[in-house]
Amino acid sequence: MEAYAVIETGGKQHRVQKGDVIKIERIEGEAGSKVTLSPVLAISDGASLKVGTPVIEKAKVTAQIFEQMRDKKVVAFKKKRRKGYKRKVGHRQEITQVKIVSLS
């Protein structure tokens, strides 16, 4: 089994392995720069699993930013029948695409 980690970023938890490319909520940085993703909630070396209470202090996940972009549009549409009421609102979330470089 491969080594993996569970990280929390943008209010969401992600299970990542070395070499994974994931989309997370926007973090500061230019394309090509390296960032440290924390907190790390759990980490496995392939044989054993270490779970934090609630985080693992010395564990870190390093990632490289691929690009800053916007996600697909999410449309919220409200309607009340026979009342002539319609509301359409769109939203595009700012996201960062990163590649996981190392787990330590």
- The string of pLDDT tens digits covering residues 1-56 is 789 999 999 999 999 999 999 999 999 999 999 999 989 999 999 899 999 999 99
Structure tokens at 6: 């569970």
pLDDT at 87 over 80: yes
Average pLDDT of the segment spanning 87-99: 97
pLDDT at 90: 98
User: Residue 100, Cα to own-chain centre: how many angstroms?
Assistant: 11
Overall number of domains in the chain: 1
pLDDT at 1: 77
For residue 75, the enclosing domain spans 4-103
Sign of CA pseudo-dihedral 12, 7, 5, 50: negative
Average pLDDT of the segment spanning 77-102: 97
Please state the pTM of the whole predicted model. Answer: 0.83
pLDDT at 35: 96
- Measured at the CA of 17, the angle between CA 55 and CA 9, to 5 degrees, comes to 45
